[in-house]
Amino acid sequence: MQPITSPPPATQPLRNGAGEKPTAAFNSDFDTFLKMLTAQMKNQDPFNPMKNEEFAVQLATFSGVEQQIRSNKLLESIATGLSGSGLAQVAGWVGMEGRAEMPARFGGSPVTIFPKPDAEADQAELIVRDASGAEVGRSPIGLDGEAIEWAGVGAGGQPLPPGLYSFSVESYKDGKSLGQNLAETYATIREARMEDGAAVLLMDNGQKIPASALTALRSPEI
């Protein structure tokens, strides 16, 4: 009888049909494997028996599959646990104000902006865009990264209507642009949820951002 060089066909339904657990299927497959191995030993040619090494290879092959299944199950349980704990953590952020690279809703009161000029810049400008992405304002700013109070005025100093506005900083060195970086603003966290295994936050400015995108968290301003 030829030696079994890999787990018998019964192991292949590890990607089994709906309702059957992989571990239960594996236990059944392992019993089948042992029965086949025992039958192979009983029916082998006594004048040409299998070598011990061949039995060891078969057992090691099947044992490797078993360990892989158990490892996968452990990783799944760990991931599930981390996902649950992650949501529990960010759920406590609801009602607080989070800071991230996102637009701000202007309703007449000044908006606090946190610019991020390039470290190599010798000058920088704050660029304001409306909800459609059109540029409505541009003004020079300092390079220290200090917060800016934007009063809601556009080019020429004309008041802008209420709405959603985004902010970016264009940095320059020796008169050449170094590119643009999005500025950060605060918004109130309205909801926390899990999506595709990651915690996301719904903000009161209508934005949905990953919880990992927050760079600061504070109590609501009174």
- The answer for residues whose C-beta is within 8 angstroms of residue 211's C-beta and 6 or more apart is 86, 90, 93, 192, 198, 199, 200, 201
pLDDT in tens, 22-62: 555 555 666 777 777 777 777 777 777 766 667 667 666 76
Residue for token pair 């556009």:
154
Whether pTM > 0.85 for this model: the answer is no
Residue type, 205: N
Confidence of residue 177 (pLDDT cuts 50, 70, 90): very high
- What pLDDT does 165 receive? 96
104 — phi, psi (to 5°)? -125, 145
Task: Identify the bridge partners of residue 210 per DSSP, sorted by sequence position.
Answer: 200
- What pLDDT does 8 receive? 44
Residue for token pair 């571990």:
23
- Stretch 156-180: mean pLDDT, rounded? 94
Evaluate if residue 9 carries a pLDDT over 60: no
- What pLDDT does 13 receive? 40
114 — phi, psi (to 5°)? -115, 95
Say which CATH architecture domain 96-222 belongs to. Sandwich (2.60)
- What pLDDT does 27 receive? 58
Count CA atoms within 13 Å of residue 183 on its CB side: 30
> Rounded CA gap, 204 and 195, in Å?
19
Evaluate if residue 184 carries a pLDDT over 60: yes
Confidence of residue 18 (pLDDT cuts 50, 70, 90): very low
Question: Using alpha carbons only, what angle is made at residue 193 by residues 202 and 197, rounded to the nearest 5 degrees?
Answer: 125
Evaluate if residue 85 carries a pLDDT over 60: no
Residue for token pair 């799944």:
76
Confidence of residue 17 (pLDDT cuts 50, 70, 90): very low
pLDDT in tens, 94-145: 999 999 999 999 999 999 999 999 999 999 999 999 999 999 999 999 999 8
Reading the block at residue 110, the tokens are 């000044």
- Give which of 47, 64, 48, 35 is closest to 2, Cα–Cα: 48
DSSP state of 196: T
Evaluate if residue 158 carries a pLDDT over 50: yes
- Count of C-beta atoms within a 10 Å radius of residue 205: 18
- What pLDDT does 15 receive? 42
Angular region, 185: left φ>0, alpha ψ -120 to 50, beta rest:
beta
pLDDT in tens, 58-81: 666 766 666 667 666 655 654 554
Reading the block at residue 204, the tokens are 């009161």
